Amino acid sequence: MTDAIQSMLNEHRTFPPADNAAAHIPSMQAYRDLRQRFDEDMEGTWGQLAKEHLIWKTPFLRVLNAEKAPFFRWFEDGEMNISENCLDRHVDAGLGERTAIIWEGEPGDVRRISYRELLADVCRAANALKKLGVEYGDRVVIYMPMIPEAAVAMLACARIGATHSVVFGAFSAQALRERVEDAGAKIIITADGGWRRGEVHALKPSVDEALLQGCSSIRHVLVVRRGGNDVEMQAGRDIEWHEALAVQQDQCEAVSCPSEHPLLILYTSGSTGKPKGIVHTSAGYLLWARLTMQWVFDFHPESDVFWCTADIGWITGHTYSVYGPLACGGTTLMYEGVPTHPDPGRLWKICSDHSVTIFYTAPTAIRALIRAGDEWPKAHDLSSLRVLGTVGEPINPEAWMWYHKVIGKERCPIVDTWWQTETGGHMISPLPFATPTKPGSATKPLPGIFTEVVDGDGKTMMPDQGGLLVITKPWPSMLRGIWGDDARYVETYWKKFDGRYYFAGDGARCDTDGYFWIMGRVDDVLNVAGHRLGTMEIESALVSHKAVAEAAVVGRPDEIKGESICAFVVLKQEANNDLKAELKAHVAKEIGPIAKPDDIRFADNLPKTRSGKIMRRLLRDIAAGRDIQQDMSTLEDHRVIEQLQS
């Protein structure tokens, strides 16, 4: 058991919700009432909300089609357009001059983009994409820094019914190539580079490298100029974004998309094989993005400035930097750079400069900023903040308390939101003005969401007993599948409980108050600084190096990052210290710097059972420097333990 989980087991403090009669959900009673509506008529309630919250081109008649479960379909005979719901709708309502995006570049340059301007840009980009041959249903890969053009690109795809797949800018050329090929993308939208830690981080060269082999589906690369770094432009293939948009009209019809039209593919790591392309469709995804903005963040578009610090390369950036706030007609803040540049006060300075009211970040960032010292937040005026959120990993009670006291001044409710790429939006979270909070608990499932903690047979666990977290009923923003691999979708999420429950892959316990405490992944997925990585992916990257015969990767508890990466490696050659650095660089090249092992240990063998299985639990204990808890009678070769411990 990790120290973080141990401290959560001893956590008994409860904090009452803040008072706010004007909140979307102002009390526990209002929460219960809403939940009860779903208990009494789940489909009817979803149907009413979908009518109330989205603009439809063709109204739907059928709410849920479960005939081909677990391939669920929501509002399937309705038609709508995501970009129309995020833009035209608000401009038509007279809100064209409201700021849609406040953007701050790392060097300090600021842009404010109104709904009217954003709509015009999205239309120009959509027309440019059409001109380049992008058609309804085509895939477009977006590989960009955190600049407004990334949001424009996403919305432009949505406007013409192209499916976007955003690839995180820190992923390597190799990782980009795999995703482009799996998605069969026609176009890549990228930038010359973007700012990180005071330097320009080039992106276009990675695209060039990815396109050296394979990627035969790619016709064009659109290049936004941001970093100002020199890039090669391949004639005929590569096109300047600004030039392409400049010649386009600022109007473009929003195509009518069936509710189940794929809006996006986002690759995420699993316990086996290569990353899975998680598919989200249109209406259900946007409905939940909008509802959770209101329920979980109590977002009021006329007065709030919402800042989600996640990069758009992750689902959090999709749902809560772009689609959620825009679907509500509010203001979203985007920041290009790292939290500690030029100093650890950067995030707090941005909150103060732009009067951020709702701030949403990962526990890793909070822990890193705690270490930097209280003088940084104290130097800035944080009085505009009213709701704080966390996401991505369990938050240890100590970090929660610091967030509560030093950032929220014991005034701002904290929403610890549990969800996944697959769930599209929040699943378990407090409501800021309704739910009493306990540090380290994501509290209760949201109205409309049905979660349980069960044993391996699907039997509900007694309160306080650890088990597996499942979602027992379908919900509109659920993933619709894995791109091109229906069998893997069924196998990964539904087979464990015979199609009855969605298996999240997390361990959890539910206390006597019905509060959920998430205990982390139960599969071979690591959560490093809130980033999800598969141990298998890192192992494959290691064994693709000529010196490596075999590798096993495990997570090790880390005070800041939650988990760090520890790799056990069997070499084909003599070990030396340069080789460790070389292997780290190799993994960075294969996947990206976020997957670099923090610790590499060489051994003559890996500990295996007599049937040849790597003993991962044992390796986790060794990596953590813990006493070995496992029965080792089945271990083939006892000497390897001593080697690995050193």
* Residue closer to ligand 7RM, measured from CB, 239 or 296: 296
Q: How far is CA 160 from the centre of its chain?
A: 24
Binding residue for ligand 7RM (CB under 6 A) from 360, 376, 418, 516? 418
Instruction: State the minimum distance, in angstroms, from the CB of residue 310 to ligand 7RM.
Output: 8
392 binds ligand 7RM per the rule CB under 6 A: yes
What's at 469, amino acid-wise? L
Q: Do the strands 414-417 and 387-391 form a parallel or antiparallel pair, or are they unpaired?
A: parallel
Instruction: State the minimum distance, in angstroms, from the CB of residue 119 to ligand 7RM.
Output: 28
Torsion of CA 594, 422, 413, 49, to 10 degrees: 150
| DSSP codes of every residue in 512-530 | TTS-EEEEEESSSEEEETT
User: What tokens were used for 178?
Assistant: 């795999």
* Residue closer to ligand 7RM, measured from CB, 7 or 27: 7
Stretch touching ligand 7RM by CB under 6 A, among 50-58, 176-184, 289-297, 388-396: 388-396
Asked if 316 and 325 count as a contact pair (C-beta separation under 8 A), the reply is no
Instruction: State the minimum distance, in angstroms, from the CB of residue 121 to ligand 7RM.
Output: 28
What is the C-alpha separation between 436 and 16, in angstroms, rounded?
Answer: 4
Stretch touching ligand 7RM by CB under 6 A, among 182-190, 353-361, 411-419, 443-451: 411-419
Provide the residue count of the chain.
646
Binding residue for ligand 7RM (CB under 6 A) from 96, 161, 330, 394? 394
How many residues bind ligand 7RM, per CB under 6 A? 23
Binding residue for ligand 7RM (CB under 6 A) from 505, 557, 597, 607? 505
Residues within window 299-318 making contact with ligand 7RM, judged by CB under 6 A: 314-316
* Residue closer to ligand 7RM, measured from CB, 275 or 344: 275
What's at 49, amino acid-wise? L
What is the C-alpha separation between 156 and 253, in angstroms, rounded?
Answer: 11
Instruction: State the minimum distance, in angstroms, from the CB of residue 392 to ligand 7RM.
Output: 4
Helix, strand, coil distribution of the chain in percent, nearest 5: 35, 25, 45
CA-CA-CA-CA torsion sign (491, 492, 497, 499): negative
Stretch touching ligand 7RM by CB under 6 A, among 241-249, 321-329, 471-479, 500-508: 500-508
Q: 333, 399, 337, 409: which is closest to 365 by C-alpha?
A: 399
* Residue closer to ligand 7RM, measured from CB, 331 or 420: 420
Stretch touching ligand 7RM by CB under 6 A, among 71-79, 377-385, 454-462, 499-507: 499-507
Distant-in-sequence, close-in-space partners of 329: CB < 8 Å, separation ≥ 6? 89, 90, 93, 95, 98, 115, 301
* Residue closer to ligand 7RM, measured from CB, 335 or 418: 418
Instruction: State the minimum distance, in angstroms, from the CB of residue 525 to ligand 7RM.
Output: 7
Instruction: State the minimum distance, in angstroms, from the CB of residue 429 to ligand 7RM.
Output: 8
Binding mask 526-555 for ligand 7RM (x = CB under 6 A): -x----x-----------------------
Instruction: State the minimum distance, in angstroms, from the CB of residue 65 to ligand 7RM.
Output: 26
User: What tokens were used for 534?
Assistant: 């598969």
Q: Is 485 exposed, middle or buried (0-12, 13-18, 19+ CB in 10 A)?
A: middle
Residue 158, phi then psi, degrees to nearest 5: -60, -35
* Residue closer to ligand 7RM, measured from CB, 117 or 416: 416
442 binds ligand 7RM per the rule CB under 6 A: yes
Stretch touching ligand 7RM by CB under 6 A, among 45-53, 320-328, 367-375, 413-421: 413-421
330 binds ligand 7RM per the rule CB under 6 A: no
What is the C-alpha separation between 367 and 371, in angstroms, rounded?
Answer: 6
What's at 464, amino acid-wise? D
Distant-in-sequence, close-in-space partners of 429: CB < 8 Å, separation ≥ 6? 292, 296, 415, 416, 417, 418, 419, 442, 443, 444, 446
What is the C-alpha separation between 464 and 470, in angstroms, rounded?
Answer: 16
Stretch touching ligand 7RM by CB under 6 A, among 77-85, 280-288, 416-424, 474-482: 416-424
Instruction: State the minimum distance, in angstroms, from the CB of residue 412 to ligand 7RM.
Output: 17
What is the C-alpha separation between 532 and 312, in angstroms, rounded?
Answer: 14
420 binds ligand 7RM per the rule CB under 6 A: yes
Binding residue for ligand 7RM (CB under 6 A) from 155, 239, 391, 528? 391
What is the C-alpha separation between 372 and 340, in angstroms, rounded?
Answer: 9
| Tally of CA atoms within 13 A in the half-sphere of 620 that contains its CB | 18
Q: 143, 23, 157, 185: which is closest to 86 by C-alpha?
A: 157
Question: Would you call 594 helix, strand, or coil by DSSP?
Answer: helix
* Residue closer to ligand 7RM, measured from CB, 4 or 113: 4
Binding mask 260-299 for ligand 7RM (x = CB under 6 A): --------x-------------------------------
Instruction: State the minimum distance, in angstroms, from the CB of residue 138 to ligand 7RM.
Output: 25
506 binds ligand 7RM per the rule CB under 6 A: yes
Q: Is 125 exposed, middle or buried (0-12, 13-18, 19+ CB in 10 A)?
A: buried
Instruction: State the minimum distance, in angstroms, from the CB of residue 345 to ligand 7RM.
Output: 26
Question: Which stretches of the chain bind ligand 7RM, using CB under 6 A?
Answer: 268, 314-316, 391-394, 416-421, 442, 504-506, 518, 520-521, 527, 532
